[in-house]
Each structure stands twice: as structure tokens, then as C-alpha cells.
Amino acid sequence: MGIKTALPAAELGLYSLVLSGALAYAGRGLLEASQDGAHRKAFRESVRPGWEYLGRKMDVADFEWVMWFTNFRNVIVFALSGHVLFAKLCTMVAPQLRSWMYAVYGVLAVVGTMGPWYLLLLLGHCMVLYVASLLGQRWLCLALGLASLASFKVDPG
């Protein structure tokens, strides 16, 4: 598949240093956040019964809980079951059309969960990154990739 060589020791050292710094920074942030939440009486107003079958309570101030229980409740079964069931069905029925079926399923899953405007946003990101990759400029691909990651939080609708 190509020539495989080891990275230079200086580059590996730089990667290890950056990774260690990122882990230390994240760990420090987690420690500060956990010490700030030591007084749990302040959070009792926002904690309500949630997933009883897990024996846990739901924090209604948490964006993810609210999102899963409001926006995605109706389409989550379709989206999650499709990853396994639809893929196996496509492989058994028409393996030569598998990529097209995956594309149709992916489009339907994104439209069903996020809506058509978010699908257009994702397709725009894909096209911009594809054009940047055709230009062959690594720095442009990196910059546009980071910009697209930052814009995923944007509400297109």
C-alpha cells in the first residue's frame, strides 16, 4: 500500500508535547469544573426524573438531554437502526448499489434529524473541503476544516 517509514524523533516529540499539553489543559478544566460544582444544592431545581430504567435523573439545564428528548425523539430509532439494519440489508440485496443506498439513507437521516437547511450546510462544507483538497494546499485544507468544525454549531434555520 505504499512505503511505510517511522516519523522523525523530533516530530514525534512535538506531537507528544502538544498532546500532553492538551490533556493537562483539559484535566485542569475538568478539575476546576468539578470543584465549582461541589455545592450541589444549587442544582436541585434543574434535576428532574429522566431515564428511570437507568436509575438516573435528568438535568433539564443540560442541552443534550433536552435535545434528545424533544427534537430527536421521533427519528432516533430510524437513525440508529439504519446504521446496522439498513447496511446489512443493502449488502445482502444489492451490493453493487450499496454506496448509492448509503447516500440516500444518509441524506434521509440528516433531513429527518436536523432538517433540510442543515443538510445544505453539510453539503456546503463537503464541497468547500473537496475543492480545497483539489487545490493541494495543506494549510488551506486545515484552515477550512477548522472553520467548518466551528460552524457546525451555527443554526442554519
Q: How far is CA 88 from CA 83, 92, 103, 111, in A?
A: 9, 6, 15, 22
CA dist 75 and 111 (Å) reads 10
pTM of the entire predicted model: 0.48
DSSP 121-136: HHHHHHHHHHHHHHHT
Q: What is the pLDDT of residue 53?
A: 46
Splitting the chain (157 residues) into consecutive groups of 10 residues, what average pLDDT does each group show?
75 93 92 71 59 56 68 69 78 84 84 84 90 90 88 68
Q: Which three cell numbers stand for residue 157?
A: 434555520
Report which DSSP code applies to 86: I
Say which residues have a Cβ less than 8 Å from residue 95's Cβ, sequence separation at least 6.
Answer: none
Q: Identify whether the C-beta of residue 58 lies closer than 8 Å to the C-beta of residue 48.
A: yes
Q: What is the pLDDT of residue 98?
A: 81
Q: What is the pLDDT of residue 118?
A: 85
